[in-house]
């Protein structure tokens, strides 16, 4: 006889802008559902108990450990994974900065750090180095060290700010014409 724990439930969510569905047992972790059922293998699984941060994804815009969330809890939610960042072969600004600053080696921690950084940069437009390091304290990188990662994030914050002020100047000029 099949127990409730073995019953698979339909889970429908929006993954990187596309509605996706699959079936998950109640105990299935979100990270496993993303990787094995939806093919989003950019999300990595390290410690499986909320310590390393490798599995971080955005759930309704908030950085979340997908190893601490059940797949069934994600039903109806908006999810973004590292696959959402690049447009085809074109890396986004944060990914380019990571490449420029050698902010990764094996890359195992990188997708989680990128997703936490995306949320962080959306909220903190002019972060200080200690603020960046505090955000990174939720992530373990075993091989790169954090200097390149911090530099990459700070550079993107600065570039995004100068882009905004350039756009403001252009708007002011256009309004004066």
Binding site for ligand FES (CB under 6 A): 45-48, 50-55, 65, 67, 104-110, 141-144
What is the length of the chain? 177
Q: Shortest Cβ distance from residue 111 to ligand FES (Å)?
A: 10
CA distance 142 to 106: 9
9 vs 146, beta carbon nearer ligand FES = 146
Q: Shortest Cβ distance from residue 34 to ligand FES (Å)?
A: 12
Q: Shortest Cβ distance from residue 54 to ligand FES (Å)?
A: 5
102 vs 160, beta carbon nearer ligand FES = 102
E strands, the chain, are 9-15, 18-24, 56-59, 62-65, 78-80
Answer whether 20's CB lies under 8 Å from 83's CB.
no
33 vs 125, beta carbon nearer ligand FES = 33
Pairing of strands 78-80, 9-15: parallel
CA distance 82 to 95: 10
Q: Shortest Cβ distance from residue 101 to ligand FES (Å)?
A: 12
Q: Which residue has the tokens 């996706």?
A: 20
């Amino acid at each position: 006889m099949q127990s409730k724990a073995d019953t698979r439930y339909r889970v429908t969510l929006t993954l990187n802008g596309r509605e996706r569905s699959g079936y998950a047992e109640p105990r299935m972790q979100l990270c496993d559902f993303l990787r094995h059922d939806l093919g989003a293998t950019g999300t990595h699984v390290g410690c499986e108990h909320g310590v390393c941060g490798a599995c971080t994804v955005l759930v309704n815009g908030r950085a979340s450990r997908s190893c601490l969330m059940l797949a069934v809890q994600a039903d109806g939610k908006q999810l973004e994974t590292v696959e959402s960042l690049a447009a085809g072969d074109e890396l986004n600004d944060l990914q380019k900065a990571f490449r420029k600053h050698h902010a990764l080696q094996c890359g195992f921690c990188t997708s989680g750090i990128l997703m936490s950084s995306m949320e962080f940069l959306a909220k903190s437009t002019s972060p200080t180095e200690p603020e960046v390091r505090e955000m990174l304290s939720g992530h373990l990188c075993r091989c790169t060290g954090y200097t390149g990662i911090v530099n990459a994030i700070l550079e993107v914050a600065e570039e995004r700010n100068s882009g905004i002020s350039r756009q403001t100047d252009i708007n002011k000029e256009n309004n004066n014409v």
